[in-house]
Amino acid sequence: MARAVLIVLDSVGIGGAPDAAAFGDAGADTLGHIAEVCATGGADVPGLRAGPLLLPNLDALGLGAAAEAATGRRPPGLETDAITGRYAAAAEVSKGKDTPSGHWEIAGVPVPFDWGYFPETVPCLPPDLVAAFVRETGVPGILGDRHASGTTIIAELGEDHIRTGKPILYTSADSVLQIAAHETHYGLDRLIDHCRIARWLVDPLGVGRVIARPFVGETADTFTRTANRRDFAVPPPEPTLLTRVEAAGGRVIGVGKIGDIFAHTNVTEVRKAAGNDALVDATLTALADARDGDLVFTNLVDFDTNFGHRRDPAGYAAALEAFDARIPALLAALRPGDLLVLTADHGCDPTWRGTDHTREMVPVLMAGTDVQPGFAGRRSTFADIGETVAAVLGLPQGPHGVSML
pLDDT in tens, 286-327: 999 999 999 999 999 999 989 999 899 999 999 999 999 999
Q: What is the mean pLDDT of the chain?
A: 95
pLDDT at 320: 98
Tell me the C-alpha distance between 269 and 296, whole Å. 10
Neighbours of 124 (CB within 10 A): 18
| Ramachandran angles phi, psi of 387, nearest 5° | -70, -30
Is the pLDDT at 221 greater than 90? The verdict is yes
Over range 273-281, report the average pLDDT. 96
pLDDT confidence of residue 71: 97
pLDDT reading at 172 higher than 90: no
Q: Is the pLDDT of residue 43 over 70?
A: no
Q: How far is CA 331 from CA 46, 342, 343, 384, in A?
A: 34, 11, 15, 22
CA atoms of 308 and 99, how far apart (whole Å): 13
> Which alpha helices (DSSP H) does 108-149 contain, by range?
127-137
* Secondary structure (DSSP) of 265-285: SS--EEE--SSHHHHHHHHHH
The pTM (predicted TM-score) of the whole model is: 0.89
> In the chain, pLDDT over 70 holds for what percent of residues?
100
What values do phi and psi take at 62, rounded to 5? 115, 15
d(CA 185, CA 84): 52
DSSP string across 165-228: ---EEEE-SSSEEEEEEEIIIIIHHHHHHHHHHHHHHHGGGT--EEEEEEEE-SSTTT-EE-S-
pLDDT tens for residues 227-270? Answer: 899 999 889 999 999 999 999 999 999 999 999 999 999 999 99
Q: Is the pLDDT of residue 282 over 90?
A: yes
**Cα–Cα nearest to 261, from 346, 141, 326, 193:** 346
Q: In the prediction, which pLDDT does 227 show?
A: 85
CA dihedral of 291, 297, 300, 301, whole degrees rounded to 10: -140
Residues 89 and 14: beta-carbon distance below 8 Å: yes
Confidence bin at 96 (pLDDT 50/70/90): confident
Whether 174 shows a pLDDT value over 90: the answer reads no
- Rounded-to-integer distance, Cα 124 and Cα 104, Å: 27
